[in-house]
Amino acid sequence: MAAVAEGASLSGAIERFLRYLRDERSYSASTVEHYAHALAQLDAFAEQRGLGRWRDLRADQAQALLAEQHRRKGYAPATLRGIASAWRSFFRWLAREGEIEANPAIGLRSPKVKRKLPQVLDADEMAQLVEVPGDDPDAVRDRALLELLYSSGLRVAELCNMRWRDLDASDGTLRVTGKGNKTRIVPVGAKALDALRALREQDACGDADPLVRGRRGAPLTPNGVRARLKKRAQEQGVWKRVYPHLLRHSCASHLLESSGDLRAVQELLGHADIGTTQIYTHLDFQHLAKVYDAAHPRAKRRGSAGDG
């Protein structure tokens, strides 16, 4: 009977962990769903092996299961890394709860992900995009959301959750609640502040109202923002695929190009790991190469007349 009770607690531990992510860590519903999917596979594996407790799962078994996802189900490297990360987090939580002594997923190896370099708009393309003409309500609103996304490097979910009370117009700052319910303060540029002032005058909003609203007064949804950006890009003659994260990428790239301050850009974007921010360093490589060629005494190549 004891073994049955322990076996039944395997899925129970997963449910408690998911509640912890949702209620204590304030993870989004989609993130919790990702964890649930990854852990359901682990739960099924443990049941097939007749494991009575999570502490009975060995590291080689966890590695074999991950390899099976790659071999038999054809999961991409990025998906496998996400699954392995979910397993590690779950076992870390079990260790804190005193249910296991060692994390069997800590040494999991998954195929390396070839990181795609982010696309960006250059400064001229950004100016062309954000300078939306007109004073009608949609133009005023769209100008404000475009300027703010680019000015402060916001994620689309962060923008949609904004309230007017989060903006300190006199100080030129914005309080942002990002991933994991973490709060950061970011600067807001002069152009974005002007656009936001025009938006507030138009809407006569209170402090508790959404910063960016749809036509019926509800917060504009992420899909609504994406649709607005696509429409404005076409109207403004920007013929690249324009989406909210492209403006975030562009903000980060332009700041890094001008300042070279990786830590400041990390803080602005709210990246927990500076390695995530470092992907933007490649974007200024061509500029760096030109400076190097022009300035370094050993960089210039001799012309044919001088060779010999």
Q: What is the reported pLDDT for 141?
A: 92
Contact between 159 and 149 (Cβ < 8 Å): yes
Catalytic residue ranges? 155, 179, 245, 248, 271, 280
Q: What is the reported pLDDT for 303?
A: 45
Among candidate residues 230, 249, 29, 227, the one with its CA nearest the CA of residue 155: 249
Distance (Å, whole) CA 294 – CA 287? 11
Q: Which residues of the chain have pLDDT under 50?
A: 1-8, 283, 285-288, 301-308
End-to-end CA distance of the chain: 90
Q: What is the reported pLDDT for 46?
A: 84
Q: What are the structural domains, with CATH classification, of the chain? A: 2-96 (1.10.150), 123-290 (1.10.443.10)
Length of the chain: 308
Q: What is the reported pLDDT for 258?
A: 66
pLDDT in tens, 120-155: 788 888 889 988 998 898 999 999 999 999 888 888
Q: What is the reported pLDDT for 81?
A: 83
Q: What is the reported pLDDT for 41?
A: 85
* Residue 19 φ then ψ, to 5°: -65, -40
Token pair 């002069």 in the structure block, residue: 190
Distance (Å, whole) CA 295 – CA 274? 29
Helix, strand, coil percent values for the chain (each to nearest 5): 60, 5, 30
